Chain A
Amino acid sequence: MSEQSAGTEIPVGPQHPSLKEPANFTLNVDGEVITGAEMKLSYNHRGIEQAVLSKSYIEAIYLLERICGICSHAHTSAFTQGVEELLDLEVPPRARYIRTLIGELERIHSHMLWLGVAGHEIGFDTLWQYAWRDREIVMDLLEEITGNRVHYSINTIGGVRQDLNDDYREAILDGMDDLEERIDFYRNTVPNEETVRMRCEGVGVVSEELAREYCAVGAVGRASGVPTDVRKDAPYAAYDDVDFDVITDDRGDLLARTVVRIEEIAQAIRIIRQVAERIPEGDLKASAKPPQALLAQVPEEDVVSRYEAPRGELVHYVRADGTDTPARVHIRVPTLANWPTVVESLKGSYIADTPIVVAGIDPCISCTSRIGVETDGSHGGENAFDLDELREYGIEWYDERGNVDRPSTEDDGRTVADGTEGERP
C-alpha cells in the first residue's frame, strides 16, 4: 500500500470541492505528507483589463466593480481615486467618509465570509453557518444604504452617488451593536475551540522573513508580523481622520490569520462607528460639472493607486492618453502577492491541510487570472507566445496529460499561417 501511495501525484483542481474557483495544485504526496507542490493559475481569464480599454472612464467603473463579487468597492475606489489624482480633483470630506464606511462594511462581510469558508475547509460546518448568518447583518445594511448587496455602485469619479441620511446612520449604529456582540463571541470561542486549534495551530506557517521576501500583503502579512496596511501607510478616503489599530500577530500560522481577521472586524466596527458619528456635512461630489466634462480634460499621464482591500493591498495602474478611454489599466490583486506563500507553506504539510492552507490567504482566484499575448511580434522570452503558439502549446499540454483525442492544428480554419489573429469560422 505504501509503495503505491509513495510519490503519488494528486491533482487538486481545477475542479475540486474545496475550490470554488478554478486553480490547479499538483501535489506530490508521500502517504499523507506533501513533498512538493506546483500551482497553475488562469483557468478563467475574463479579459477585463483589455475590455476596460474600450470603455469610457465612467463605464470602466462598473466593469471594474465586477472583477470581484466580494471586494467590488475596493476596485472602484482604487480606480476612481487614481483617476481623481489624474484630474487633480479634491473629493469632499462627506464623500470620503461614505467611501470609508462602505469600504469597512465590505471588509466585515469579506472577513465573515472567510471565517465561514475557513470553518468549512476544516470540516467545521457549524462555524460556517453561524458566520454566514451573522454576515447578513452587514449585507442587509449595505443593501439598505446602496440598494445592492454586492455591487454597491456608490463610487463615481469625484465623489459618491448616494448620501447617507440619519435613518441609515441609526441603522448602522444598531447593526454594529448587534455585530459587536457576535464578534465578541467568535473572538472568545474560535481561537479557543480545541479542534480548531488542532487544525490551525502551526499549520501553513509563513515566517516573517518569508512574508517579507514574497511581499505578502493584507492579513497574511500582518499575521506573520509584517505591519503593512495601506490605510495607515498611505491614508486615502477618511482614514487619516479615524482611529484604528493595525492588527498584527507574530505566529504566522492559520490560527494567527484567523485571529487577525476577527480582530480586524472589531477594528472595522470601531471605524464605522466613528464615521457614522462624525460624518461632516457637505457635498457628495468634487465638482458640479458632469464627470464627462471633467474627463474631457484628462491629461496624458499615468498613476498608481493603492487601496487596502479586505485581502490586502490592491494596486491599480491607470495610464491616460488624453482620450475618454484609458490607454492601459493594470490591476495587481492582493491574491497574486500571496500565492507564493501558499506554495511554500504547502510543502511539508499534510494533504488534509491543503484546503485550509489554500483558503488561508482568502484567495480570489478569478481576480488573479492574467494572460499576456504579444501583439508586436517581438518575443519576450521562452514563455512568450503568439496566439498560434499558445493554441499549439495548449493542445500539446493536454496531449501529454491524457489520452484524449484533440483536434490537430492542421487544416484548422482558426489557425492562420502567418498572423497572430485567427478568425473564428
Chain B
Amino acid sequence: MNALTQPGRWEKFFWPLLAAALLLSLWHYSVIWTATQVFPSPLSVEKGLAELLRKHVLWSDIGDSLRRVAIGFGTAAALGIPLGLMLGWYPAANQVLNPLLQILRPISPIAWIPIAIVLFGVGDHAAVFLVFLGAFFPIVVACVSGVSNVPSIFRRAGRNFGLSTAQILARVVFPAALPQILIGLRIALGISWLVVVAAEMIAVDSGLGYLVIDSRNSGKRYDLVVAAMLLIGLIGLALDVGFRRLEKIRSVRWGFGHES
C-alpha cells in the first residue's frame, strides 16, 4: 500500500532470503558471543538434522505424526461436516446443541489427556482422539457459520426449481458454503498439527513431538530439539500451503475475493 515504487518480481525472493540470512547470522553469532554451552548454533542444528535423517528414525517419526493427524482430522471432518451442516440448516437443533459446544470448545485438547489415557491407554489411539477433539469443534463451527451465511435467496431459488431438501443441501447449500468450510478445515488442520505435537510430548512414545522432548531428556541434545522444531514448522507450513492450493481450484475460487 505504501511502496515508493512497484517492487520488482526479483524482490519477492531477495528480501526473504536477506531476512533469513540476517536471522541466521544473528543466531550464529549470538551463540558464539554468549559462549553458551547448551544452545545450538545453526551449523550444529544442520548436522543434527543430517544425523536424524541417517538414522532413519526421523522418517518413522514424521510418518507417525502425519498418520495421527490424518486419522484424527479425517474422522473429525467426516463427523463434523455433516453435523455442522445439519446444525446450520436447522436453527432449532443449533440452539439446543450450541451451548454444549460452546462449553466444550475452550477446553484444550491437552486437558483431555488424562481422560484420553483412561479411555485409550498410552499410545496412538489417545493421540488420535486428542487430534480429533482439536479439529472437531472448529470444523463444526465453520460449517454452521458457512451454512447460515448462505443467502436465503439461494434456498428459495432451490425450492423454486422444485428441489427436495436433501437436494438443496447437496446441490445448493454445500457448494455455497464450501469456501467457508474449507477455511474452517484449513484452520482445523493447523490446530491438528499443533495438538499432535503436544500430545506426542505427553502421551505417546513416537512422533515429532516426542522427538523434541526425548532429545532433551536423554542427553540434552538441543541441536536435535531445534532441528525437530524447524521440521515441525516446515511440515506445518507445507500442510497449510497444500491446503490453500486446494482452495484455489477453480470451482471453489469464486468464494475467495481477496484471501491473503
> Are A and B a genuine interacting pair, yes or no?
no
